[in-house]
Structure 1
Amino acid sequence: MTPRTDDGVRLWASASGRGAPLVLCHGGPGLWDMFGDVAALLADAATVIRWDQRGCGRSQRCDGPWTTDRSVADLDAVRRHFGLGRTALLGHSWGAQLALAYTLAHPERVSTLVYVSGTGIGPDADWHPAYRENLLARFGETPERLARWRELSDRTALTPAEARERAVLQWSVEYEDRDRALDLAGRAADPWFGVNGDCNKALNQERRRIWGTPALRAACAALDVPVLIVDGAEDIRPRSAVDSLERALPRVRRVTFPGAGHLPWVEDPDGFRAAVASALR
């Protein structure tokens, strides 16, 4: 299926399962939908709609614009394409930020928000230094991977194969299961569509400018939509950063999975399914 945005960009989208609608927002920025496992887990609990964000993955390549407002409008184009009045949203990582932004902009169109592995509503200083420290510490458990990742990161240009290798190495630190981490990261990178670096840079810069404001906290405090916050206790992004969001929301529940990292549905699929299915009910 091919939703089209109001400025003519074609977006890749797919629907599966049965039940009330649930639209998934993938992470990044600049990546693509990697929610095949999530769609399978929830196939009997929801009609799961997956999509690739503008200029990313299987969606039409374009020059942006790369803003949260534009991403919110694109998400609304997906909602309209599938004829949804209201829908549940599930966002992961950067996608959690996008799903929250959409819910704040259009609360009447969201039945439930599932906020997975986000970084809260505070400034980057609340989480990014600790994230960087934890990333290097976990890489330090496999010095040869750290050395190769640094070598690839220092290059000004990479082949597609090298770009994939660098991503797999970096993604491998996102899993608490260290024995399977590299294989799990490789699976996430198959198929490989390439990271949209322009999208990633622009949206991260925007987040640093506009996130962490009193206005954002006030908007969250006024949000009359049920929210489930889902964490992996071993995520290298400090979970304390999400406390800011939990404190602000009036209708919120939080589930944290011990022994899971940044992708909790991979390392605790049964627990993740139960938590999300309960929120959808």
Structure 2
Amino acid sequence: MNPHVRSDDNCHLWVEQSGSGPPLVLCHGGPGMWDYLAPVARLLDDHARTIRWDQRGCGRSQRRGPYSVARFVADLDAVRDQLAGPGMALLGHSWGAHLALRYAIEHPERVSHLIYVSGTGIDPERGWHPHYERNLRQRLGRHLDRWEALGAHARTPAEQRERAVLQWSADFADQDTALRHAQHMATPWLGINEDCNQALNAEVKQELRGSDLIVQCRALDLPVLIIDGAEDIRPRWAVDSLHEALPNSRRLSLAGCGHLPWVENPLDFRQAVTTFLTQHSHQTPSQLHREPANREDPR
């Protein structure tokens, strides 16, 4: 299989497929990181043909811009067009959840299901971030001093990796295993594209302040599963406005896990996602848009 998709502006994007069934495209977080969703693919391989990719400028994809939400939406559409076909299910994690949401808003006829994992919502002021910073420092505990010291000066690649591992360890609820999980995420270390991270974060912040995203979400009548870990250090109330705006969404919080719920609670994560994916599986995306809204909230 060709390990790359070529975007419409000739950027080569690394991709990998596995499993069998209807296509499910996975969007990793960051921005500026690489795909770390292989464990999610393994959980779902018997229910879907999973398609993972490194976003442009990240990981194994070509190191070039431009870095904008519109450009990343177009890249995702190239992945869909060349590997998934006319329609697909979408699963996005963290920043990737926002990317998947934006894609679904712009191309609803090409999306059958949207799975929004550990996203941070659509509140205009992004008021969750001070709470995240406070929770991050608290959960870092004895590693806080080292994390701050590494952030106070220019870092070697080894120090960049060390700081990332410490920061990512706070994304897990069980601190006895958190460092091990974070080390696994950082292996192999493919480097964080800071230019990509800064550009996209700045654009999303501006977008949320000035756009009609809530209005667009109200018009997005396709099935959406909002799923996250109950102990994520990003406050989950930040997602309330998104859930309220979507006419056909379900929300589920998994106990005993943080920002990567499939790592710490894989059985419940798999059951929730596979159950959601099998609903309406016989219908096309355009037919799904005519389904009546479902406002069930198990939380």
Displacement of 1:221 in angstroms is: 0.4
Quick check: 1:30–1:200 contact (8 Å CA) kept in 2?
A: yes
The aligned residue for residue 151 of structure 1 is 149
Displacement of 1:83 in angstroms is: 4.6
Return the letter of the residue paired with 1:148. Answer: R
Where do 5+ consecutive residues of structure 2 fail to align?
279-299
1:54 equivalenced with 2:56 (yes/no): yes
The CA deviation string for residues 201-250 of structure 1, in whole angstroms up to 9 with x for no partner, is: 00000011011556110000010111000010000000000001000000
**Partner SS state of residue 145, structure 2:** helix
**How does the TM-score come out when normalised to structure 1?**
0.96
Quick check: 2:126–2:205 contact (8 Å CA) kept in 1?
A: no
1:119 equivalenced with 2:116 (yes/no): no
The aligned residue for residue 239 of structure 1 is 236
1:221 equivalenced with 2:228 (yes/no): no
RMSD: 0.9
The aligned residue for residue 159 of structure 2 is 162
Displacement of 1:199 in angstroms is: 0.1
Which deviates the most, 115-124 or 53-62?
115-124
Alpha-carbon separation, structure 2, partners of 1:87 and 1:278: 16
Alpha-carbon separation, structure 2, partners of 1:66 and 1:55: 8
Quick check: 1:11–1:52 contact (8 Å CA) kept in 2?
A: yes
Where do 5+ consecutive residues of structure 1 fail to align?
none
Q: Which runs of 4+ in 1 moved over 2 A?
A: 123-126
- Match 2:18 to one of 6, 16, 19: 16
Return the letter of the residue paired with 2:122. Answer: I
**Partner SS state of residue 90, structure 1:** strand
Return the letter of the residue paired with 2:131. Answer: A
> 1:1-281 maps to which residues of 2 (within 5 A)?
1-62=3-64, 64-140=65-141, 142=142, 145-155=143-153, 157-213=154-210, 215-281=212-278
The count of aligned residue pairs is: 276
Quick check: 2:87–2:110 contact (8 Å CA) kept in 1?
A: yes
Which deviates the most, 124-133 or 222-231?
124-133
**How does the TM-score come out when normalised to structure 2?**
0.91
Alpha-carbon separation, structure 2, partners of 1:177 and 1:81: 40
**Partner SS state of residue 274, structure 2:** helix
The CA deviation string for residues 72-124 of structure 1, in whole angstroms up to 9 with x for no partner, is: 00000101111511000000000000000000000000000000000011134
Alpha-carbon separation, structure 2, partners of 1:137 and 1:174: 12
**Partner SS state of residue 112, structure 2:** strand
